[in-house]
Chains A and B, each alone.
Chain A
Amino acid sequence: MDHEYDVVLVGSGIAGAVIAKTLTQAGKRVLLLEAGLAAGMALSPEPSYANYQRYLETFYSKANKATNGPYPDLPDAQSPDVLQIEAKTPYDEGYLVQNGPLPFASDCLRSPGGTTLHWLGNVPRMLPNDFQMKTLYGQGVDWPISYDDLKPWYEMAEYEIGVSGDVAAQVGPDMDRSNYGDDYVFPMKEIPQSYQDQVWMKNTENLSVSLYGKDYNVTCVSMPQGRNSIPNPAYRKTGIFWNDETKRLELAGDEPGKYEVVGAIWDQNTGNRCEGNASCVPICPVQAKYNALKTLKKSDHSKLDIATQAVVSKLLVNDTTGKLDGIEYKVYANPASPIYTTKVAKGKIYVLAAGALENAKILLSSNAANSSDQVGRNLMDHLVMLMWGLFPEKVYPYRGPGCTTYLPTFRDGEFRKDFAAWISPLDNWGWSWPTFAPGSDVSNGLAAGKFGKALRDSLADTVTRQALLHFECEQAPDPNNRITVSPQYTDLLGNYRPVIQYDASDYMRKSFEAAKKVGDQIFAANGIEDFTDYNPSDADYVTWKNRGYTFWGAGHIVGTHRMGSSPADSVVKPTQQTWDHDNLYLVGCGNMPTLGTSNPTLTMTALTFMAAEAILKQLEA
């Protein structure tokens, strides 16, 4: 690859796929470097089908159904693994070097398609107030752009992902029809809310709960999702195009009833509707759930070169011009071997789309884009507090996708001055997250001497009544929650591993207390017997006012190279060009200054379309 590309792009997750598709469709020549295996990049029917069936077989054969379980574990391009998160720091036996004091609890996937292979697919938008946390609540920072600035890009992201949902139902604090506009609909109709959700809603919708002397009205809202449903005949958009005249990226089309459901990458006729397999995380068997390979496949492949098994090691910064001269990467043939060849890719513009951990790691390894000293800092996640119990009646979890309903009540309010806001999805996966049910129910039954009919009866009685409610608390940016690199910690190819320093602040711990008080009232209203058990041996066990709480990671790895309005305290401009190098752009969740209470993929995808337009403008200038 000795010739020069318009753009050299690193990573084929959703951010990379959006860049690859948008730029090549606009006629630009792109080289995409992907660290994962060549087999996973297959986009034509037979090899992509065969590869995906291997993922499925791996998933079915593993006792533990953790997020990265179905996908190859590559010593040359390791992914973090939630199974390696332990209640001790420092800890460096996994991919992440955990310096603590608490271990960082989320993972991502370094593979073609990125973490969208195992994501859940919840895609609520952020709230307008989320963009002004400093001004309104004195917490964190304001974004350099507003909700209204992002709104047209949200529509593009919702088209690209293929969102199923009911706009009219999106009502809650700081959220109503005006967030979307009068006539707006999602491309597809909402996924039906599960039977379990209907049971929850009977006693939860309009429940009044009291918290620190104030009453709140709890409501239940259908969750917008990146998985296929019935096309909405009122949806009018048909595609995203670069308009060469206006130099704008446009969501085009004004004709109802034309939305085309995007099926599996191996067969357009597979996965046209969610089939309710309930294994969304870690893998949708039919690809009714969106994944980034669907976007990548729509690229103009005559303009796109893809190099797989190509792990970026360093950005070559020219100290004189302040620009990048190239990207150095290591190509391996065998993912478990330390043997590699080093290559350099050259383009007019470089785009890092490798995820918040890897982007920061690459920048720190290259001493690039860091005049603000913000690279690697402000690492954030949703801190997930779980509550689990048994319903008095059978509610039959595992029918439908992982989440079809959420409680918006504590997503925004004056309380954000005092403790973190949260979104509460109703989970459709029994106790699988906290206790590894239903496998653990079987083992426990066997340990109690049950077998045969007695075992089946006890499973039929308890597994069907398992309730899980969770609270995704918005982690505020903290410069000391950070990734660094050190020559002491490298991987098999000699690339750095992320060294993480991480903690949960009082602002977060107080939100656990608040969420538990709310959860207790919801459980009581539903007659749910509480089996929640936070144990000091849990990996992320914290205390607040002498009570213990455990949080889990949400897989929402955000921050590390934030966007801002000043080069003094941010890494990228609102265009997502780095302040320091005008031919280097960063895309992905790392750009988000704060997290809000939304699953971040939708917002990040909207930002990435903004970046794609900025890159095209720069290339055409």
Chain B
Amino acid sequence: MSQHYQAPAPRRRQQLFRPDEPLHGCGLITSLDSLRSHLQTAIEIEHSTIPTYLTTLYTINPITNAFAYQTIQSVVMEEMLHMTLAANIMNAIGGHPAVNTNDFIPEYPTYLPHSDDAFLVPLQKFCKDTVDVFLKIEKPAHKFVPPEFNNYKTIGQFYKAVKYGLRYWDHVTPGGIFTGDKSLQVTCEQYYGGGGKLTAVYSLSDAVLAINEIVGQGEGMDGTIEDPDQVFFGEDVEYAHYYKFNEIRHERRYRPEDTANCPPTGRRVHVDWDAAINMHPNPKMKDYPVGSPLYNKTLDFNQSYMRLLTCIHDAFNGQPDLLMKAVPLMYDLKYKALDLLNLPLGNGEMAGPSFEYVAI
């Protein structure tokens, strides 16, 4: 049988700056130190979703659930990009990103750091409830919501507050605040393949571009369903996280003419909700007797995760080349997570990765 194919047109990429809102004299964030601590929160927010998305990703089969797998994988890679962008902004204003401390990993299930505690983010298998939580995480802000750095409803609100803080403190500080050591920046030499181009941050306009990328990839820009790479980098049309997850939830693709507040109406996609590994939700090391094989394997997984975080920490703090060495650690982590997910607990459920702080 002969078949004909229509592949997408080749992508072109160009970088365009976009006019942003005028400078607001907004001093919600009341000092440069406070601004830095909010950027640390930004890093923690971005990180907090990664164990959740990764755990769910590892419970499904990349072939039989190809659409859901590729969608979740693309989102988690973009979260890694966001975490790195936040670290770049932090370094650009003379702060010190910290990703290896004992309270850096939240205890799952967790509220999003500094959020309004409206919902818990768990480590659990792929299912409709899980995707509903993902939708809450990535829920878009209204265009006119106020900036909110604490008790925010949406991540967009939080970043709006950070953006205003950056503008304000750069404006009122003699010589500006973007005086950090340029060699600390992670650039697209070290960071690649993470869904969008990594911006090194040397100025306020770089920082604003970075924040718009973070918010836009998660929630979409200004009521559109497309992520801002369209606008900024001219990548293939790719929908923002919320809308990607909504496609899984509704088992349908969006059509370009669909609007943001309606479900997708495009072609159906195959999602096999029942084909997930039945992982026990939110596993903990303390669930297992110390020294038992399950305990040891979970400990081993957590040590791998700490090695990875330590590597990233060092990359964010003066050794950006180390980021390339994080790649094999990420594979190591995946293989160890899959090992755990293949271990039955005896009650019909399987073990799974627990993402807990351990000393290494």
Contacts and interface: CB of A to CB of B under 8 A. Distances in A.
A230 B5 contact: no
Most buried by A among B4, B9, B67: B4
Interface in B173-213: 189, 192-195
Contact of B6 (A273, A275, A301): A301
Given A50-B63, A54-B63, A309-B2, A45 B70 contact: yes
A272 B194 CA distance: 9
Given A41-B3, A310-B2, A268 B66 contact: no
A38 B7 contact: no
A230 B190 CA distance: 8
Contacts of A299: 7
A273 B63 contact: no
Contact of A301 (B3, B5, B11, B66): B5
Contact of A275 (B8, B66, B327): B327
A536 B74 CA distance: 54
A331 interface: yes
Contacts of B67: 46
A309 B8 contact: no
B289 interface: no
Contact of A331 (B2, B4, B70, B236): B2
A525 to B, nearest CB: 32
B80 to A, nearest CB: 11
Contact of B193 (A271, A300, A301, A308): A271
A341 B192 CA distance: 47
A172 B230 CA distance: 47
B246 to A, nearest CB: 17
B1 interface: yes
B195 to A, nearest CB: 5
Interface residues of B, number: 31
Interface string B58-78: 000011001100100010010
Contacts of B66: 46, 49-50, 53
Interface in B1-24: 1-11, 13
A273 B2 contact: no
A49 B61 CA distance: 12
A587 B335 CA distance: 43
B4 A306 contact: yes
A333 B1 contact: yes
Interface stretch (A259-267, A440-448, A466-474, A553-561): A259-267
B194 A306 contact: no
A384 B239 CA distance: 50
A394 interface: no
A53 B2 contact: no
Interface residues of A, number: 41
B192 A268 contact: no
A367 interface: no
A198 interface: no
Contacts of A54: 63
B63 A297 contact: no
Contacts of A310: 2
Given A268-B11, A301-B7, A309 B77 contact: no
A164 B178 CA distance: 35
Contacts of B77: 269
Given A41-B5, A49-B70, A301-B5, A269 B194 contact: yes
Contacts of A331: 1-2
Contacts of A44: 5, 7-8
Interface in A289-305: 297-302, 305
B235 interface: yes
Contacts of A270: 193
B324 interface: yes
Contacts of B192: 261, 272-273
Nearest to A273: B192
Contacts of A38: 1-3
Contacts of B7: 43-44, 297, 299, 301
B68 to A, nearest CB: 11
B1 to A, nearest CB: 5
Nearest to B269: A46
Contacts of B236: 268
Interface in A219-259: 230-231
Nearest to A297: B7
A455 interface: no
B346 interface: no
A305 B63 contact: no
A584 to B, nearest CB: 22
A348 B124 CA distance: 60
Given A269-B74, A271-B193, A43 B328 contact: no
Q: Report which residue of B1, B193, B236 has the largest number of chain A beta carbons within 10 angstroms of its beta carbon.
A: B193
Nearest to A277: B331
Contacts of A333: 1
A307 interface: yes
A305 B324 CA distance: 40
Contacts of A269: 74, 77, 193-195
A269 B236 CA distance: 11
Nearest to B10: A298
A483 interface: no
A43 B5 contact: yes
B8 A308 contact: no
B302 to A, nearest CB: 24
Interface string A318-344: 000000000000010100000000000
B251 to A, nearest CB: 13
Interface in A382-438: none
A308 B70 contact: no
B237 to A, nearest CB: 12
A46 B267 CA distance: 13
B185 to A, nearest CB: 15
A270 to B, nearest CB: 6
A357 interface: no
Contacts of B11: 268
A267 B2 contact: no
Nearest to B193: A272
A49 B64 CA distance: 11
A397 B5 CA distance: 41
Nearest to A1: B2
A260 B193 contact: no
Contacts of A231: 189
A548 interface: no
Contacts of A272: 192-193
A276 interface: yes
A398 to B, nearest CB: 12
A97 interface: no
A108 interface: no
Contacts of B10: 297-298
Nearest to B14: A258
Interface of B: 1-11, 13, 62-63, 66-67, 70, 74, 77, 189, 192-195, 235-236, 269, 324, 327-328, 331
16 contacts: A43-B7, A44-B7, A44-B8, A46-B70, A54-B63, A231-B189, A261-B192, A269-B77, A272-B192, A275-B331, A300-B9, A301-B7, A301-B9, A302-B6, A307-B3, A309-B1
Interface of A: 38, 41-46, 49-50, 53-54, 57, 230-231, 260-261, 263, 266-273, 275-276, 297-302, 305-310, 331, 333
Q: Closest 7 interchain pairs by CB?
A: A272-B193, A43-B7, A307-B2, A272-B192, A38-B3, A269-B193, A333-B1
Given A272-B192, A301-B7, 4 more contacts: A38-B1, A271-B193, A307-B2, A333-B1
